[in-house]
Amino acid sequence: MQEHSSLVATPTKSRVDASGPETRAAILHDVIAPQEIMFPNTFIGGVGELSWSIVDMRAAAAVAAEANVAVQLFPLEPTYMMVGAGPMQPSSSMVFHVAKSAWTVQYGGTTTVPVRFTPMNAGRYHQIWKVELSLGTRTEVRTLRIYGDGTKRAIPTTASSGYKPVTARQQELDFGSVDLGSTSKLKLQICNKTDCNYALNVALPSPPFNVSDKNKHVSLKSHHFVSLPIYFRPNRTGVYCHTLTIDVQDQDSLSVQLKGECKIH
């Protein structure tokens, strides 16, 4: 998770003369809020957190029965995403989240709303939100632009640290004793402990062990695991052993021992 920081509106001198008449339009101009939020680089699968604040700088002469300003905040358009130097494209995922969509700002006060950024893929994100301020019958509409960059987490190399981001939960699969002509199936669980997606290529084992063609190439999502079916189909009696090799993108291969025995019962 990224370090928490805040975006707070910087108060400026009120543009309303407290000694003269004031319209509701002028009053709303003295409710100050940033027009942009820019998140720092945030790892895929992580959470970026910032705060968006509204400051009420209305003059005392403006405050009567309608003391509080109502605020609503909601998206005007889908999230757009740019990968590399490509064009902005609509994203299917919602990556910007506001803690609440409606609240009030009291006279002379500051209201702070947490905003979160949860990128699922690497790229630059952008979304426009609508800010609606209401005081009595007067309504003013503003926009808030939110930006954020999703980045891949650097993974230590196996050569330098011995760390493997993708691992097999079992180092050995023992099928035990299987009748001649029958089939036994066990599942090998392969885990991804990182924020990145990985491609796996399974080398076909020697008979009587087997992996189906549809499972030879596997896509492993971040923080997920897959269960890879392994089959043992002996057509002769005997004891069988084999080392199953799984090639993993950007790391050393995984090796799992397969064992099984065929008997006539």
- State both tokens at 173: 């699969």
Does 41 share its domain with 136?
Answer: yes
Does 245 share its domain with 128?
Answer: no
Q: Does the residue 19 lie in any domain?
A: no
Q: Does the residue 223 lie in any domain?
A: yes
Task: Please write the tens of the pLDDT for every residue from 180-210.
Answer: 889 999 999 999 887 778 888 998 888 999 9
Calculate what percentage of the chain has a pLDDT beyond 70.
Answer: 81
Does 122 share its domain with 168?
Answer: no
pLDDT at 29: 75
Instruction: Find the range with the poorest average confidence among 7-11, 21-25, 33-37, 185-189.
Output: 7-11
pLDDT at 75: 93
- Does the structure show a pLDDT above 90 at 57? no
* Single pTM value for the model: 0.51
pLDDT at 18: 37
Q: Which whole-number Å values give the CA distances from 257 to 113, 165, 182, 240, in the listed order?
A: 54, 20, 21, 11
pLDDT at 1: 38
pLDDT at 60: 58
Does 68 share its domain with 186?
Answer: no
Does 128 share its domain with 188?
Answer: no
Does 74 share its domain with 116?
Answer: yes
Among the listed residues 17, 26, 15, 16, the one whose alpha carbon sits nearest the alpha carbon of residue 138: 26
Does 204 share its domain with 103?
Answer: no
Q: Does the residue 105 lie in any domain?
A: yes
Q: Does the residue 49 lie in any domain?
A: yes
Q: For residue 225, what are the domain limits?
A: 158-263
Check residues 25 and 138 and name the one with the higher pLDDT.
138
Q: Does the residue 18 lie in any domain?
A: no
Q: Does the residue 15 lie in any domain?
A: no
Q: Does the residue 241 lie in any domain?
A: yes
Check residues 218 and 61 and name the one with the higher pLDDT.
218
Q: Select from 116, 131, 151 the last residue of a domain.
A: 151
- Does the structure show a pLDDT above 90 at 221? no
Does 110 share its domain with 31?
Answer: yes
Check residues 108 and 213 and name the one with the higher pLDDT.
213
- Does the structure show a pLDDT above 60 at 239? yes
Q: Select from 105, 136, 151 the last residue of a domain.
A: 151
- Does the structure show a pLDDT above 80 at 61? no
pLDDT at 12: 37
- Does the structure show a pLDDT above 70 at 66? no
pLDDT at 155: 54
Task: Please write the tens of the pLDDT for every residue from 128-163.
Answer: 999 998 887 888 899 999 999 988 765 554 444 556
Does 186 share its domain with 138?
Answer: no
Does 203 share its domain with 239?
Answer: yes
Domain total of the chain: 2
Q: What is the CATH number of the domain that holds 114?
A: 2.60.40.10
Does 171 share its domain with 213?
Answer: yes
pLDDT at 107: 79
Q: Does the residue 2 lie in any domain?
A: no
Q: Select from 151, 177, 197 the last residue of a domain.
A: 151
Is 39 within 8 Å of 47 (Cβ atoms)?
no
Does 48 share its domain with 147?
Answer: yes
Residues 110-122 have a mean pLDDT of: 88
